[in-house]
Structures are given as C-alpha cells and as structure tokens.
Structure 1
C-alpha cells in the first residue's frame, strides 16, 4: 500500500548534543593567557559573520556536507589561532536543505459524484484507504504544474467518518502530503472561522498547535513537519473563479516547522548539522574523535579489573577517584598502565567500535594538585593505541 509521502516530514540527524559556547572573543581572551599551540576540546556554532565575512559566502549556509568539511577549518583557524595539535572542536553549522512550498493553488471538495466513480467508495461516499486518495488525485489532476498545491476537502473513514482538509503538493511527479487543520482545530487555536486572519498569525500559532498535535508521538530533534493552513484575504488570483480579483477568498499555504527538542520553529530551509574537527600539527581536519571523561563508575571498573596486579595504584584511584601521576610514588600510574586501563574500559564502553575510531579520554589526575589529563587513542588492529 502506498503511504503518505510527507513533505520532508522527518529530517533526523544523528548528531552529538550541543552546548552553546562563549563568544569567540571570550574564548580567545582565555586562550591568549596561555602559550600558543595549546590544546582544547570545545563546542562552537558558526555565526553569520563566519559565513559572510570570514568565508565570504552570500548566504549563512553550506550547500553540502563536503563544503562544510572544507570550509569550517578556515573558520577555526581564523577564530582560534592559538589552538594547536590535539584540539577538538564540535562545530554546528547550517546545511541548505530546501523544502518545496506551493507555487499555485487548487481548492477542491470531493463530491458525491467523485466517490460514485469508484467501486471502493461509491457505497459510503468516503475514502477509507490512503491509496484511494492518491488514485483520485492522479485521475482528477493528471497534468498539474510542478509545485501545485491541491487543498483537498474529503471524507475519510477510520472508525468514524471525518471531514478533513489536507494539502497535496505535486513535486516532480509525486504527491506529497501536508497536514491541514480541521474546523475543530481552528477553533482550538482561537479562530472564529476555519482560517487564520494573516500569515503572521498562522506562523505564531501553528508551532503551539504542533506541540499539542504530536505530544504523544516520538518526535526527534530536527524532525520537520509540513502544515497547510488557510488565510482569508483578497482574492488577487480569483481562486473562487467569479472573475473578480478584489473580493475576498480563502487561500491555502504550506509552512514547514522544525523541532528543536522542546518546541517547533519555522523551518527556513537551513538544517542544523554537526561535524567534529581535530587539529593535526596546526591544521584542522574532519575528525571522528569521541571526547569522553571518566565517571566514578569507570574508575570502579578499572579498579575491579586491575586491582590484583596493581594494588597500590588501584587502591589510591578508588579512594580519590583520580590517578596518581607523581613519578616514583608507589601509586604512580605510568602511561603504559593508563593505556592498558583504557583498552579495558573502551572495549567495555564501545565494544563494536570500528577500526580507526578515535577517542580523547579525559582523566582526573593528581600530580601535586588535582587536575585533568587527556589521552588520545585510536583503534588499530582491534586494540586501542596512542595516536
């Protein structure tokens, strides 16, 4: 059975969760207090100035992921000149991902004669299967121009018969579905009639409507929903066919909304994406490194695995939840011992990691003061070795 082909209903990107960072000036103020070539692990979101001033692009988006991979390093090098080898940046950028909207409009209500034209619908004068709707659209509007929106009112049976008004947009020979509001839903969002008064009003109220509409569905961050809404306005295109372009009529439009994890926002054809970059000898390159900081449970696991061989080191670690890095001390953790511990831990945390996967693992250490140390490893021939 043919399914409803939503207008980019779900664009979901498996990406790392992002945390907003300080402005570039604040970060560099902190970094410049240290010597050039230091390393850091941080998150960064490209600004409009990055696209237009640093990269001299016309728009604040990239056209492809490959463009982002080649151009983001220029931004990082420009904005963070003091960062050097071993630095990691998780960068959020906007990818141009346009969704089709209407170019022309047909408003149509399925008639009794229409239902009677098909054996499956003539008895009850309604649709009860999605395929029936698409068959009707193909027959009724076989040659409509690309990006023609059909605002279709029809009866549909699903346990009970409902009158629905949904959008069907013709895009490159296919019908794409856009969710419309029922009369009751227009009332629910505070409208006296089954339409909005202005586009601005629609774009303000529809995100609230969608939050309630999909509150019981599993909606992911960056999912996009296409919605058809109606506005009562001047009939400049004579959509009611009365020969006048100065009277009023109800127009249908499509708006797209993207979910950010807590609310719906107007989708402006820019999809948030993330890429990670690593600094290799002063050059920023796309990188698959996963930054990980040991938790209390990780120290406990390492202790359970190595306590019989290294009782002094593990006892100290379990007592203080850090590794003693004072050379010559009985509890000293050498680099070799740390890499052995990381092999045990990463094989537990990421047993199915692919060859070439990288980790930047941050440990709590004691070297006369409580601080941290980061070890960079890569999976090579099945083992985690120093990069």
Structure 2
C-alpha cells in the first residue's frame, strides 16, 4: 500500500511539478531508474533553432554535422528528461551541406563521354543522382590544324560580337594575339570561335589538339590549344599533348557494309549485326560481341593504305546498351594497322543526372563577361542570374528537368561550387546548400549520443574482392556475384548466398575498407540481390571482439 501511494505521488509530480530535482528525488526513493524507454521521430522547428541563436548565429540550420551532434543531445535531454537507456529519437533538421566533389581514377583509356558513362556506370553504380566526380583517366586525343580559310570561316561567325577582331582575322587569315591591338583575340574569343566552327565535329567528351595561325608581332606564327568538348563549349585544358598528330577517319555506311560482307564467314553473327545496324555490339555478354581484336581486324579491311608510321584516329559507332561513338588511334606499320593509342591524362568533372553521367554546365569567364560582371564569379547578390541564364540556355526545358552546374562563388574568398537547378515549368531554381536531413540519436550510459551507424553501399570493387576471396570456397555463388554484381538470394539455387555466407563476405569487405574500425562501430550495408528480379537489400552489422556480426 505504501508503494502504491508513492507511485501516485510520482504521477502527481510528473503532471504538476516542473522541478527536475524533485523528480530525481522520487526516482531515487523508488529505485526506478530509466523507467521510460522511448522511440520517437522529431523535426526541429524555428523555435528550437532560436533556443540556440548564439551557437547558430541566428540561422535555422547547423553549420556542420559535428555542431548538430553537440547541440542535439543537449536539446533531447531537456525535451525527454525521463527517457532512459535504449531510447531512440530520429531527429530531422536543416544542415549546411554543399555538394562535395569526389575524385576517382579510371583504369584503361576513354575517348569521350560515352566511355566515361560506361566506366562509372560499372564502377560507381551506387552513386545517387547529384553526385559530382572529378575523374582522372587517359583520354584519346584527336588533332586539327586550321588553315587560313578556316580562320576566315570563324571570322564570319564572330563578326557580330567582335567586328574589329573578326575583320582582321578575315583579312589576314590569323588571330591577332597582340593584347594592345584593337583586333586582339583573347583565349575566350578563340575558344568561342573554335566551338562555333568545330563543336559539332567532335563527340561530347572528346579531347582535341587544335593548332591555328596567329600574329603576335614576333616570330610565332601558330599556337595550339588542347580542348575538351563538354557539349556546351570547348574547355581549354592545361595538359601537354605533344605528339598527338593523327589523321582522322570516320567509318561510313559503306564501310560497315564492307566489313559485314568480308567477315560474314569468320564471324557470322557479329558481321550480320553490324551490317544490319551500322554499329559494333561491344557487350561481352552478347552473341554478336565484337572484341578489340575483331574490331582491329574489321578496321584493317576498310582503312586506306598509308605510309609507314602514319597514325589514324578512327571513329566508329558502338552499341553498349545504347548507340554511341568510340575513337581508336591506330599506327600503320609493316602494311597493317595496329593499336597505338595517343593519349593524354585529363581530369574533367562529371555529374550523375537522371541515371546518366553528364558534363555539368561550367560557367566560364565568357559567361561572366556576358553578364557584365567585374569578376568571374557569383556572389550572394547575383547568384539568381545563374537560373536566368539556364532559361536562355535550355529554352525547351520541361517541368522536372535538372541541370547540373559548376561555378565559382565569392563568400570571403572564391571557391568552386557544384550543384543542380530544377525547372518547375516556368523558371529554374538552384538547389540551396542547406538541406533537410535526419540522424538517429540514442540514450546510452546516461546521455544522448549520435548513433554511429555508417551507411555504405557495396561497390564493384567490393564485389570483385568477394569473388576473388570466395571463388575456391563457394565457386558457384562467387562466380555468379562477380559476373552479375548481385547476390543470388533464392533458396534452392545453386548460387544461393545465405545470411551466414553474406556475413563472411561483409567481414572481408569491411576489414579491407575500414581496417581501423573501432569496437562497437555499426554499418548499414546495402547491396544488390537477385530474387527473380534485381532488388537492393540492407543488412546491419556491428564490430564485436574484432569481428563483424549482425546487429540483434
């Protein structure tokens, strides 16, 4: 009876008394520590941010995740004073989260955006839309030496914007590079002229070495730019492309027909396919697959006889799920063409948009000059012009279209920013750097702490590691996951991956990827599975006694 009376007293205290010390006294007397275990979701409000005005500088967002992890536990302790061990709150809040540029290095040689998309789709398939990657790779390069007549054609295209410079170029067949002369051609003007004249000749992502005649008042009569076609303009690259001269050749419909006829006996399926569609099927799983050796054999059939040592840059159509172009650089020696890639290392930025890898629209000095800016960057006072420019750039945009952008921004200093703008049917809207996000906090050892779960999606490199590690232990399942990139989860299948087998694989991956993980570290692992169709699956693991085990 006495205990029942004290319980009634506790309820009265909780209902009517706001003094935390009195609550603690009652709890101590009844020995009811951690009486409440709660699970809740909560979203920060304007009033909540106002409580921490000094720490947040009056803003309604956290500057960093570390700042959120410092403030939110204090907030939860005040909001849920009687919640105890094991309680969880998933908190939604605003976080300053500007897009971070990731870096990757590709193996092999890529010739254009089609090759970039194919590589990243295979090696970074878990990347969400909005991901920006600086990809370093060896790019095949083409060359083009402009004549006086080419310069005159460029002048015609530029006369409206730059009348004096264009008239000079038309008259003398060169670009005047004397900066003090009224007919001066700046780098920006030359790049603009080159793109207007040559932009449609090269595939998006192609690197081209362009040599053109100049006059600088001295002994230099030509200059060379190494440029990349990003689909919007030529971007000048700061790379050394010495020795890149090559004769360009693009396969014609007649060439595909000739290849199909000549190789019909040797490769009946692939030959018939290329004759029908006018492109080489390069999917290794296809019965019409053209290997590199077969492609070289085909090109030798149609390419013209050349002089010993000549280099040809041969462009042709391929099919790898969609039709795109590929360029192969070949050396003519001993009466035949052999592989002889002329390459240069480049590091362009690409972004994932609606499932495809694309070049972002990069704002250059030419754009800022057109805007009438004194400096080649945006700031808080004029960033709105970015969206206005996109409206002019994409006049046929549909509601929901997304444009990926790269630009310099001034805020105390100049930095390069990456982001995306969404079209609502009338206007473009650049997505702000402040996002709404959620994070879980738990009550452990008498205080609120951030849950340490790391969310990770298995990559192609992880799958390759699993295949090589388990090929002798589980030959069928290991070979299957290596080939398809997904774990067969159908019970009864000869390639079935059980939970126990998956845990073995997770231990191999996490020990390789995070060898310094501390005891108690948690991971949420997402991976592709096959259950009749390909679907993602997620498993939760934690490090206990040096090993990764499933979370209970």
Question: If the length of structure 2 is used for normalisation, what is the TM-score?
Answer: 0.26
Q: Structure with the greater relative contact order (CA < 8 A, sep ≥ 6): 1 or 2?
A: 1
Is the helix fraction higher in 1 or 2? 2
Question: If the length of structure 1 is used for normalisation, what is the TM-score?
Answer: 0.36
Structure number with greater Rg is: 2
